[in-house]
Amino acid sequence: MKKTPLLNSSISEVISKMGHNDTIAIGDCGLPIPDETRRIDLALIKGIPTFNDTLKAVLLEQEIEEIIIARETEKVSPEIFEIIKKEVGNVKITLISHEELKEELKNCKAVIRTGEQTPYANVILKSGVVF
């Protein structure tokens, strides 16, 4: 049995295969996921699971060195922006347009779809190293 708290085998598998600078995304239930990108669908009903709970769970397992967020998040959903900043701590934050973020999803190892319904509740996590 795993010792780390993350129980979702699909998320754990993707993270375990990631190298330095590889990316994984967490998104709200409306984020369009490219056909070529692996989808890990956690959405059950509206709001479950939340973006915040999912982000916290992923950060228990993954070392990150940078996050990418849409500029629109800070203006339209400042509470989500603050949650992200709080959870990632002193990690580099790169702001891009929402359209650019959607394009970047094609380069992600996977996109985790949550039940979140807050606009722009999306983040791309760039893998760091533990040494």
> Which residues contribute to the annotated binding site for substrate?
28, 98, 120-122
Report the DSSP pairing between strands 64-70 and 92-96: parallel
CB atoms within 10 A of CB 21: 11
Question: What DSSP element (H or E) covers 88?
Answer: helix 78-88
- Distance separating alpha carbons of residues 53 and 83, to the nearest angstrom: 10
Per annotation, catalytic residue among 7, 17, 20, 41: 20
Separation between Cα atoms, residue 48 and residue 13, nearest integer Å: 22
Q: CB–CB of 128/42 below 8 Å?
A: no
- φ, ψ of residue 124 in degrees (nearest 5): -110, 130
Q: Which residues are known binding-site members? A: 28, 98, 120-122
Could you confirm whether 78 is annotated as catalytic?
A: no
Question: Which residues participate in catalysis according to the annotation?
Answer: 20
